[in-house]
Amino acid sequence: MARGNHKIFLGMAAGVGKTYRMLQEGRAEAEAGRDVVIGYLEPHDRPATTAQAAGIETLSRRGFSYRGNRIEEMDLQGILERRPELCLIDELAHTNAAGGAHEKRYEDVEDVLNAGIDVYSTVNVQHLESLNDTVCELTGIRVRETLPDAVLASADEVVLVDITPQSLIERLLAGKIYRPEAIQPALDNFFKIENLSSLREVALRQVAEDVEAKRLPSESSIGSRSSAHRDRLLDTQVPQVIGERLLALVTPKPHAQRVVRRAWRSAQRLGAELDILWVSRGTPSAEQEDQLEALRRLASILGAHMLVEHGDDVALVTQRVARERGTTYVLMGTPHPRGALARMLRPALQQRLLTLLPGIDLRIVADRARAAERLSEEDEI
Amino acid sequence: MSWLRKDKSATATVPRTGAGKRILFPFDAHGLAGNALDAALRLARAEGGTLVPVFLARVPLHMPLDATLPRQSKLAVPMQDLVEQRAGKYDVPVDSRIERGRSYRHALRQMIEHERFDMIVLAAAAAGGPGFGADDVAWLLANAPGEIVVLRPALTAAA
């Protein structure tokens, strides 16, 4: 039996309209003649969402008592027995109450997909496991219900439901997201422009990376996959986003910190991953070990990847690493001045990199100390 | 600005062979005291040493201590660039760091454990203001090796 298609509607926060959009697309599928049901809907007392759900068959929930409370969960068995063509399931990261087949709703969704049923589902970006710490630091709020990144990565399509932070706050103030008594606490805590802007950026980046990750394997394995899968990838008409990836070449010396900071700033502007590479030519000295450890700590704080490779030829090792990591941009510190003999024997590192890495931009980070030295020398002249 | 100097040269860490003194200058997200930085740079120049400006990043308890800190990095990186720019005017070499901890004091302790320093230059906070409080200073004087220079807040800052 062919596995169903999974389409995820991703948003930066509650209230952006993920559920509404999911219902809208589900309704369009139903009007086109497909058998569509709502497996689980969390309308949050939002009239527009409830109205959008009207007319689509809603499956009953599985109700049971837990610690004296009446609880309702999605009825997985009911969906599997009903066997619709398309099932709409809200809140993918939800944790089920005890007593269900699975602990998490995304595991229920797996069963539905494996039964050959297509699924539309919704999730907020802060629920993604790998982003949990980042989002927590950005917003100060730790999200308990997390979703493995693999679930998003394996989805056939991810749709970003995006509105500006200002519009979202206007919706909140208009009472379209929460009840009146919940509006002010929401504004005081999560719904701040800076939080929402950060989350929006994270969500946009996540989708761009997801698109790229899906595109690259499809290109490399073209011909080896089924034509149906290939057609599906082509049919999505996703924008051809190519992510930047920066590589900072360092040596374990104090000025490397500055090169890394410069590279990190560029990476932030480009929304890119940052790799830091030191090509070691032998056993590092105690001082180099200290500097290396400091670079590792800096990389960890900045969210960069510290790489140490061994080799005699820095340019060739850099070329290999750049190919392996998909580097689009190399940054390095100002090279030391070389003697006439060295210049005759071998071109400078930056010249060799330009030759060995066609199509990759190279940026040399100025050394302030040396620049100051040069200026003072010129003054003396 | 006045000076309170505690010379603990008897227990001072040994400077690296062939290298000048390493002078630690901690600061945090509350900001950089320009006058304290200038004093630290003058000291570094006089000693022929390297200034090690360290941004102390506080990691909340609900996050792992080794968590990535993008928001604080956005504060730390430009502040460190600023320190390096200023150090360039004094012709003082710098070796910047960012260190994490559950509190600023914890981050400072981690820094001292990770690396060796010959001198620590600390800007004390004005009453109720940001910076290192009296407890932090007392803790540092009791626990940190090497020479410690505590810079009292400027009168204008204390007022």
**Model confidence at A268, in pLDDT bands (50, 70, 90)?**
confident
- pLDDT of A234 > 70? The answer is no
- pLDDT of A221 > 60? The answer is no
pLDDT tens digits, A273-309 = 899 999 998 888 988 998 999 999 999 999 999 999 9
Q: How many domains does chain A have?
A: 2
Predicted pLDDT at B6:
46
Assess if residue A240 is contained within a domain.
no
Q: Do B70 and A300 count as a contact with CB atoms less than 8 A apart?
A: no
Predicted pLDDT at A114:
95
Predicted pLDDT at A243:
66
pLDDT tens digits, A12-41 = 888 888 999 999 999 999 999 999 999 999
Domain residue extents for chain B? 3-9+20-158
A185, A215, A235 - which closes a domain: A235
Same domain, A75 and A169: yes
Q: How far is A188 from chain B, CA to nearest CA, in Å?
A: 19
Q: Does B72 touch chain A (CB under 8 A)?
A: yes
- pLDDT of B15 > 50? The answer is no
Same domain, A52 and A159: yes
Q: How far is B60 from chain A, CA to nearest CA, in Å?
A: 8
Fold of the B3-9+20-158 domain: Rossmann fold (3.40.50)
Chain B residues lying within 8 Å of A371, measured CB to CB: 88
Say what the ipTM of the complex is: 0.76
- The residue ranking higher by pLDDT, A126 or A103, is A103
Q: Do B97 and A300 count as a contact with CB atoms less than 8 A apart?
A: no
Assess if residue A193 is contained within a domain.
yes
Range of the domain at A352: 245-380
Predicted pLDDT at A140:
73
Q: Do B70 and A138 count as a contact with CB atoms less than 8 A apart?
A: yes
Which of A170-174, A201-205, A304-308, B98-102 comes out lowest in average pLDDT?
A: A201-205
- pLDDT of A370 > 60? The answer is no
- The residue ranking higher by pLDDT, B2 or A331, is A331
Closest-CA residue in chain B for A269? B74
Same domain, A40 and A184: yes
Same domain, A107 and A226: yes
Q: Do A301 and B71 count as a contact with CB atoms less than 8 A apart?
A: no
- Cβ distance A6 to A118 under 8 Å? yes
- The residue ranking higher by pLDDT, B23 or A234, is B23
**Model confidence at B130, in pLDDT bands (50, 70, 90)?**
low
Q: Does B111 touch chain A (CB under 8 A)?
A: no
- Cβ distance A170 to A191 under 8 Å? no
Which residue has tokens 């999505």?
Answer: A236
Decide: pTM greater than 0.95: no
Q: Do B73 and A290 count as a contact with CB atoms less than 8 A apart?
A: no
Assess if residue A21 is contained within a domain.
yes
**Model confidence at A90, in pLDDT bands (50, 70, 90)?**
very high
pLDDT above 90: percentage of residues in chain A? 35
Same domain, A273 and A130: no
